[in-house]
Amino acid sequence: MYTEICTDEAKNALYSLIEREVKTNPYKNYDGFLIDVKRVANELPEQTSSMFKTIRNSIDNDKEQVFLIRNCPIDKDLPELGNEDPVNVKRATKKTFVGEALLALYSICCDMPILSYTTRNEGDFFQDVKAMDKYNLTQTQKTNGALNWHNDRTAHPVRADYLMLLGLRVPEQNRIETHYIDAKKVISQLPNHHIYELNRNSFYTPYDDFSRDSNANQQNSEPHSIIYEGDKLRYYDDRTNILNPSVEKSKEALENLKKVINESQVDIKEIQESDLFIFPNLKGLHARQLAGIQDFAAQSERWLLKTYNFESSRVANRYSYLYTEKFGQVNDDCLTV
């Protein structure tokens, strides 16, 4: 994992720039907000611009793919979101957009365009990993519980290459771990005949409860392979399953994959406030582990701001036929699989 700690000087300089330039609400006027953020990009502190170059080079040259940037600027005054309808409370009460600007800045300067979906949080480009009572103990971004090994949006035909998570509010009394494993390492542990089976379109993944509630068309994925393009996985543990339960070879390969994942070497990270964690969504799997919960109510207050990101503009352009007038916003109202 590439780790860098922003100096207080760089953090404060970036905060002041964002505070000065970014006034437009991204939930109301995303294009105007991006114009504000681009002004910030013209005056970056040196440490920040060199970090952007490091990340881009590392991705391009297939070096380190997991990045932890600590001591990032975030909003000083954050509203209480509650657990009934946090997204709408956020839209109504969040008056500064430092976290959003920081994520947008990374996406612009590292050339990792943000992806959104018209049927997920109404097309918002900034998502919240934040508990919502309705989804307690489900396998969704709105759960307050643990999450199995997975890629985000496993069932969806358009999936992010990378995820960015920014710690906005992280109660210190609880230990919540983000686990990550590299897909190449998992695949290298599998025998060839299992790799062959896992490359076949013999599997499917049901959509999660939040997706199903947001779009009645989203029930099950199309038949898909679990391994694709050599080093990518499409898998949600305990949800991805075989299409035809009588095919023993697929069943055996899936069972062995599960075993290999559980025996893999895991990177463990506790995302703290002001931490930005960037990691591959497809060239790896991630999970959430509740390692030590002292205060369950505080656990529901945990709030990470998140974006789905493409690897580059070149990759994002492949899906442009699916976008609304906003680049990166997939119109999946009518998209059936």
Residue 92: Cβ within 10 Å count: 11
Q: Which CB atom, from 22 or from 183, has the smaller least distance to Fe ion?
A: 183
Supply the minimum distance, in Å, between the C-beta of residue 123 and Fe ion. 19
**What is the SS3 string spanning 96-159?**
CCHHHHHHHHHHHHCCCCEEEECCCHHHCCCEEEECCHHHCCCCCCCCCCCEEEECCCCCCCCC
| CA–CA–CA angle 58, 322, 279 (5° rounding) | 25
> How far from 282 is each of 34, 149, 252, CA to CA, in Å?
27, 12, 23
Tokens of 197: 């089976």
Residue 180, φ and ψ in degrees, nearest 5: -140, 135
| CA–CA–CA angle 239, 190, 266 (5° rounding) | 65
Is 301 a binding residue for Fe ion by CB under 5 A? The answer is no
Q: Which CB atom, from 15 or from 149, has the smaller least distance to Fe ion?
A: 149
Q: Which CB atom, from 40 or from 271, has the smaller least distance to Fe ion?
A: 271
> How far from 250 is each of 32, 231, 283, CA to CA, in Å?
49, 19, 21
Site size with Fe ion, rule: CB under 5 A: 1
Q: Which CB atom, from 73 or from 280, has the smaller least distance to Fe ion?
A: 280
Q: Indicate the residue whose CB is closest to Fe ion.
A: 152
Taking the C-alpha atoms of residue 269 and residue 277, their distance in angstroms, rounded to an integer, is: 9
Q: Which CB atom, from 128 or from 152, has the smaller least distance to Fe ion?
A: 152
Neighbouring-strand partners of residue 114:
309
Supply the minimum distance, in Å, between the C-beta of residue 34 and Fe ion. 25
Supply the minimum distance, in Å, between the C-beta of residue 129 and Fe ion. 8
Residues numbered 240 to 299 that lie near Fe ion (CB under 5 A) are: none
Q: Which CB atom, from 75 or from 152, has the smaller least distance to Fe ion?
A: 152
Helix then strand count (H, E) for the chain reads 11, 16
Supply the minimum distance, in Å, between the C-beta of residue 94 and Fe ion. 22
Q: Which CB atom, from 52 or from 277, has the smaller least distance to Fe ion?
A: 277
Supply the minimum distance, in Å, between the C-beta of residue 235 and Fe ion. 12
224 is in an annotated binding site: no
* Region for residue 321 given its phi and psi (left: phi exceeds 0; alpha: psi -120 to 50; beta: otherwise): alpha
Pattern 128-167, Fe ion, x by CB under 5 A: ------------------------x---------------
Supply the minimum distance, in Å, between the C-beta of residue 317 and Fe ion. 25
Supply the minimum distance, in Å, between the C-beta of residue 147 and Fe ion. 6
E-state strands within 170-226: 175-182, 203-204
Taking the C-alpha atoms of residue 132 and residue 264, their distance in angstroms, rounded to an integer, is: 31
Binding residues for Fe cation, by number, are 150
Interface residue list for Fe ion (CB under 5 A): 152
